[in-house]
C-alpha cells in the first residue's frame, strides 16, 4: 500500500479563501440556514475536501471486498454506487465506506483522513495472495458534494461520482423505519476530482458543511463521523437500508447481523428530535437525552448531531436505548434543559416483522 502525504484543506482548497468563509473546509459563508435551499435545489456545491479517498485496483477487488464487508459487491456494475460497512467480529461498525467502481478501479470514500488511513492499512493487511492493490489517494483527489444530475455544471470532469443510495432500500437490505420515508427523492452525490481542479469550480455558488448536515439530519441519514461509537450496530441506525445485504455470503460480523435482525431487538435506536428553540439554548453533540426533568430523570441516550434547519427549525439525531419511551423527551445541554419532540426512526420492535427472507436464528445477542 502507498499512502499520500497529509494535505491541509485550508492550504489546498480555494473555497476556504472565499468571502465570508468560516472554517476549512468552510462550515458556512455567512448564513448557514440560507445556504440550505440552493444546495438542496442543486444550484450550490459543498467543499468536502477533508474527506478520505481510497482506491483498490486489480481483478479480485470486488469479490475481495464482498468477502470482507457487509454489502454485496461482487457483481457491482461499473458506474453504480453502493455503500458498505466493515464490522468487527461482534458485528459492531468499524468503518463505513461509500463505494463506486469504474470498471478498473474501486473508489472508497470515507468521512475523515483518520478513518481512511485506518481502513487502508487494514485492507492492505488482508490482501494475502489476491490480485489487489490498495492506495490512499486522499492527497490527490478531493470530494465535492451536491444535488441533482450535474452539480459541477460540466466545469470539471470528475474521475468518479458516488450517488447516494439512501433514497430507497437497496437490494438485499431492509428498512426498519415505518411509513413514508423523508429520503424519497434524495438525489445527493459526491464527485471526486483532482485537487488541482478545485480552482475551476470557483465561479459556482457554494454552501457550507453545516447546510449539508442539516439536510442529512432531515432525511435520517447516518454518518460514521457522528453517529458511530465503539459499540454501534448497523440495525440501530437503520443502516440495513443501504449498507447491508441480508442474504449474501459470510463476512466478519455477519452472525451478529443475523441474530439482531431475527430477534428484532437492536439494543439502541436512532431517533429524530425536534428541539424547542424558544429559549435559544444551544444543544450540542454528546448532550444527554432524558425522560422527564430533574436530577432523577433517567438518561436514555445522547445527541449525535444537531442542526438549524431552514424549514424544520432546530433538529437533532440521537441514539437512544431501545426501551426509551417513544414520546417527548428532554435534552440536557450546557445551557439547561431543552424539550424535544421525537420522531421514531428505528422502532422498539425493529426487525421482528422483517419482510425479507428470514436468516437462521443463531441465538441471543448480549450487549
121 & 205 share domain? yes
Q: In this structure, is residue 352 part of a structural domain?
A: no
pLDDT tens per residue, range 8-49? 544 568 999 999 999 999 999 999 999 999 999 999 999 999
Q: In this structure, is residue 185 part of a structural domain?
A: yes
Please report the pLDDT score of residue 119 as a whole number: 98
276 & 189 share domain? no
Q: How much is the mean pLDDT over the chain?
A: 92
Total tally of structural domains belonging to the chain: 2
204 & 313 share domain? no
295 & 159 share domain? no
Q: In this structure, is residue 335 part of a structural domain?
A: yes
The residue segments making up the domain with residue 321 are: 268-344
C-alpha grid cell, residue 269: 435506536
210 & 274 share domain? no
Q: In this structure, is residue 248 part of a structural domain?
A: no
Mean of the pLDDT values across residues 301-329?
Answer: 97
138 & 278 share domain? no
Q: In this structure, is residue 72 part of a structural domain?
A: yes
165 & 283 share domain? no
pTM of this prediction exceeds 0.85: yes
The more confident residue out of 196 and 367 is 196
Question: How far is residue 198's CA from residue 142's CA, in Å, rounded to a whole number?
Answer: 8
Q: Which CATH number covers residue 194?
A: 3.30.1360.120
Please report the pLDDT score of residue 365 as a whole number: 34
174 & 79 share domain? yes
Q: In this structure, is residue 152 part of a structural domain?
A: yes
Please report the pLDDT score of residue 297 as a whole number: 87
Q: In this structure, is residue 197 part of a structural domain?
A: yes
Please report the pLDDT score of residue 12 as a whole number: 66
pLDDT tens per residue, range 201-256? 988 999 999 999 999 999 999 999 999 999 999 999 999 999 999 999 899 999 99
**Percent of the chain residues past pLDDT 70, beyond the cut:** 92
For residue 150, name the pLDDT band (cuts at 50, 70, 90).
Answer: very high
Mean of the pLDDT values across residues 273-279?
Answer: 96
Q: In this structure, is residue 262 part of a structural domain?
A: no
Say yes or no to pLDDT of 367 above 50: no
208 & 134 share domain? yes
Say yes or no to pLDDT of 103 above 80: yes
Say yes or no to pLDDT of 359 above 50: no
Q: Which CATH number covers residue 281?
A: 2.40.30.110
Amino acid at each position: 500500500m502507498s499512502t499520500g502525504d497529509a494535505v491541509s484543506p485550508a492550504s489546498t482548497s480555494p473555497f476556504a479563501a472565499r468571502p465570508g468563509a468560516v472554517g476549512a473546509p468552510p462550515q458556512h459563508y455567512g448564513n448557514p440556514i440560507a445556504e440550505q435551499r440552493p444546495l438542496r435545489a442543486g444550484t450550490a456545491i459543498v467543499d468536502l475536501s477533508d474527506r478520505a479517498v481510497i482506491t483498490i485496483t486489480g481483478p479480485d477487488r470486488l469479490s475481495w471486498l464482498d468477502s470482507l464487508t457487509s454489502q454485496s459487491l461482487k457483481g457491482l456494475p461499473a458506474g453504480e454506487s453502493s455503500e458498505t460497512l466493515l464490522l468487527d467480529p461482534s458485528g459492531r461498525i468499524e468503518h463505513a465506506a461509500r463505494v463506486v467502481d469504474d470498471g478498473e478501479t474501486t473508489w472508497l470514500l470515507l468521512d475523515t483522513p483518520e478513518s481512511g488511513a485506518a481502513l487502508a492499512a487494514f485492507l492492505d493487511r488482508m490482501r494475502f495472495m489476491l490480485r489487489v492493490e490498495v492506495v490512499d489517494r486522499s492527497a490527490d483527489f478531493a470530494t465535492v458534494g451536491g444535488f441533482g444530475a450535474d452539480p459541477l455544471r460540466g466545469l470539471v470532469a470528475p474521475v468518479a461520482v458516488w450517488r447516494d443510495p439512501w433514497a430507497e432500500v437497496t437490494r438485499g437490505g431492509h428498512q426498519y423505519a415505518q411509513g413514508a420515508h423523508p429520503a424519497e427523492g434524495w438525489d445527493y452525490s459526491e464527485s471526486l476530482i483532482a485537487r488541482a481542479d478545485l480552482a475551476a469550480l470557483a465561479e459556482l455558488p457554494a454552501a457550507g458543511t453545516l447546510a449539508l448536515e442539516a439536510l442529512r439530519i432531515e432525511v435520517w441519514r447516518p454518518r460514521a463521523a457522528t453517529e458511530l461509537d465503539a459499540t454501534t450496530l448497523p440495525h440501530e441506525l437503520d443502516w440495513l437500508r443501504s449498507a447491508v445485504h441480508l442474504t449474501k455470503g459470510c463476512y466478519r460480523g455477519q452472525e451478529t447481523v443475523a441474530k439482531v435482525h431475527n430477534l428484532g431487538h437492536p439494543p439502541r435506536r436512532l431517533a429524530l428530535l425536534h428541539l424547542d428553540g424558544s429559549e435559544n439554548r444551544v444543544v450540542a453533540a454528546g448532550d444527554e437525552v432524558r425522560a422527564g426533568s430533574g436530577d432523577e430523570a433517567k438518561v436514555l441516550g445522547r445527541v449525535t448531531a444537531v442542526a438549524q434547519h431552514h424549514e424544520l427549525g432546530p433538529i437533532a439525531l440521537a441514539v437512544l436505548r431501545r426501551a426509551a419511551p417513544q414520546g417527548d423527551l428532554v435534552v440536557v445541554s450546557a445551557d439547561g434543559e431543552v424539550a424535544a419532540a421525537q420522531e421514531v426512526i428505528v422502532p422498539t420492535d425493529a426487525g421482528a416483522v422483517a419482510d425479507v427472507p428470514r436468516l437462521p436464528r443463531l441465538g441471543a445477542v448480549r450487549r
